[in-house]
Structures are given as structure tokens and as C-alpha cells.
Amino acid sequence: MAPFQFFFLLLSLAVFPLCWLRGGHTERAGVAILLSSYLLTYVVHGITLRGFLIGDATIDLGVFAGFGWLAIRRDRWWTLLATAFAGLTMIAHILMFATPDLQEAHIRADVASRWGLGVMLVLCLAFGVAERWMAGERPVSGGSRWRRRPKTVT
């Protein structure tokens, strides 16, 4: 595993639980979008067309649509930024598809750029939780009880 890929994995493993526990419904939807994209990527990663990773492009199109839907429906600024990064990922896919003679160096550059944009997507999600905290808004799970209630003796 490449060091940057390892960093990306550790960052995701740190940010996703934080966003799920301390975020609102929008942040939880963002976690669900990214987690489902990670899992589906393992299923469709091998689907290619003349060297173009069409399976990854399809998953990233779904991520773009999901964050675009969140940006339209919710009132959070980070969803607009996440949609922009997902759109840049789609532009990277379009440029790879338009390249007439794909070589190994092109594919590596494409994957590296998409990893960098993925890190920015995860950081947008974390900034959404930070915004919620700075605004003094309660997390969705704030009212949940995480401990057992003490037994009452009657």
C-alpha cells in the first residue's frame, strides 16, 4: 500500500466515526455516500474500457450526484465544496477518457489526482462537523444514551 493511500485510509477511519457521532443528518448522509462508494469501488474496480476505469468513473458519478443532491437540499456550505471536488474528479475521468493513447503513466497520474481530491472530500466532511460545533449546534446523536441506565431498586 502506498504511503498516501495509507494516509487516506487512516484519515477516513478517523473522520467517518467523528462525523457519524458528532455531525448532523447532512454529515451522516455524506459518510453514507463515501462509505458506499468505497465499498462499491472494490466490486467494480476491474471494469475497464481500453484502459479507462469505467467502473470507478461510474461510482464517482454517483458520489457527484449524491453530494450535488445534498448541496441542493441542505443548508450546509461544505456540501457545495464537496460537490466541487467531486466535479473535479469527474473532470479527471473525462480527461482520461478523452486521452487517445492511455499509458501506464497517465493512469497513475489519474489515480493520484483522484486520491488527492478524495482526501479533500473527506476533509470537507470533517469541516462540516467543525462548523456544527462552532455554531453550537447539537449533534444528532447528542440525545442518544450510550450507557445503560442504572437499575432501579424497587
- Domain assignment present for residue 89? The answer is yes
User: Is pLDDT above 80 for 93?
Assistant: yes
Per-residue pLDDT band at 103 (split at 50, 70, 90): confident
**Of the candidate ranges 6-15, 27-36, 89-98, 100-109, the one whose mean pLDDT is the lowest:** 100-109
Question: Per the domain annotation, does 152 fall within a domain?
Answer: no
- On whether residue 92 sits in a domain, the answer given is yes
Total Cβ atoms within 10 A of residue 44: 14
| pLDDT tens readout for residues 18-51 | 999 999 999 999 999 999 999 999 999 888 887 7
Distance CA 44, CA 95 (A): 20
Helix axes 104-134, 77-98, angle to 10 degrees: 180
For 52, phi then psi, to 5°, come to -85, 130
Q: What is the pLDDT of residue 127?
A: 95
- The answer as to whether 31 is a domain residue is yes
Question: Is 42 within the bounds of a domain?
Answer: yes
Q: What's the domain range around 38? A: 19-138
- The confidence score (pLDDT) of residue 148 equals 64
Do the domain assignments include residue 13?
A: no
Does 4 map to a domain?
A: no
Largest pairwise CA distance in the chain: 78
Question: What is the tally of structural domains in the chain?
Answer: 1
Asked whether residue 12 is assigned to any structural domain, the reply reads no
Q: How many helices (H) and strands (E) does the chain have?
A: 5, 0
Position 92 confidence tier, pLDDT thresholds 50, 70, 90: very high
What pLDDT score does 145 carry?
55
Count of C-beta atoms within a 10 Å radius of residue 15: 23
